[in-house]
Amino acid sequence: MSKDIESTIETILREEFKHFELNTYGERISDKHSEIPTYLLMHKHEYIRTIRDVVKFAEHHNVRQILEIGAFFGLVSICLSKLGFQVCAADIPEYMSMPEQQERFKRHGIEIAKVKLQDYLLPFQNEQFDVIIMCEVLEHLNFNPLPLIKEINRVGTANSLFYLSLPNLVYYRNRLRFLFGHSILQPIQSYFDQLDPAKPVIANGHWREYTGPEIREMLEKMGYEIERLYYFSKVDTLKTYKLKNRLTRLVFQMFPSFKENQTTLAIKKQRTQQVFHIPNTVHDTLDLL
């Protein structure tokens, strides 16, 4: 199955994404160095892993509808659609309003949703999705994520999968930076860039990364049971004949939390009973959620 997934992704990359690239301002650019977007090539191993995990879950559960929050280019959504799932791709309006994006999703029978996660409310029915995927999104949120996770809990069916993937705050490079007195947070210059009128960035950097235990604590308090939490690295996918890769793998085997990324597979065991007060300084219309 892994080979089939990899082959499907390769086909999608060739057929759908030749010479299609976006910069951080949401503008289309031409990539002179590659026919396929650099971003997609860099993260291909992550897409393969995500789809493999979801397909494996579906082998033992009744999975009909899947929601991907932060679909961006749509590679994961398209692949899952090709594998026979009903998929809804959600992302910010700036991306989902692009004609090429809309046409691409429509071609593959994928429903799209324009969402602003900072509004907290998701435009879906209760218990609508059997799998909810959110990869490389949580770290970009510059607001309290708990009301959003409550909404994710609401729209998931009983025993649905919340598939959450994000950077690992305590991977080894961050530990070394902190040890030698360097910040592991966003560079100060990025704050200036985000407010520069000449650089209207719509995809901000990482505002808050998390450790594995923090993710576990957050989700367990929101009605989920952690089925699996694991760490991964691009090094895991590289050939081992290079001494550097072999040594890195050896260290990672002894200390898995040194890896740069983490994934949590959380099962919805109950509708969360948490009630959140939303200050009017945060949201104009919501009071309680």
pLDDT tens for residues 131-152? 999 999 999 999 999 999 999 9
pLDDT tens for residues 213-250? 999 999 999 999 999 999 999 999 887 778 888 899 99
User: Residue 31 pLDDT more than 70?
Assistant: no
Cα–Cα distance measured from residue 27 to residue 217, given in angstroms and rounded to the nearest whole number: 38
Q: How many residues does the chain have?
A: 289
Cα–Cα distance measured from residue 58 to residue 64, given in angstroms and rounded to the nearest whole number: 9
Q: Give the pLDDT confidence score for residue 24 in this predicted structure.
A: 46
DSSP code, position 89: E
Helix (H, G, I), strand (E, B) or coil at 128: coil
Burial of 185 (0-12, 13-18, 19+ CB in 10 A): middle
* Domain 2-169+206-239+260-268 indexed as CATH 3.40.50.150: yes
Domain residue spans of the chain: 2-169+206-239+260-268
Which residue(s) pair with 132 in the sheet?
67, 162
Helices 75-82 + 2-16 axis angle, to 10: 120
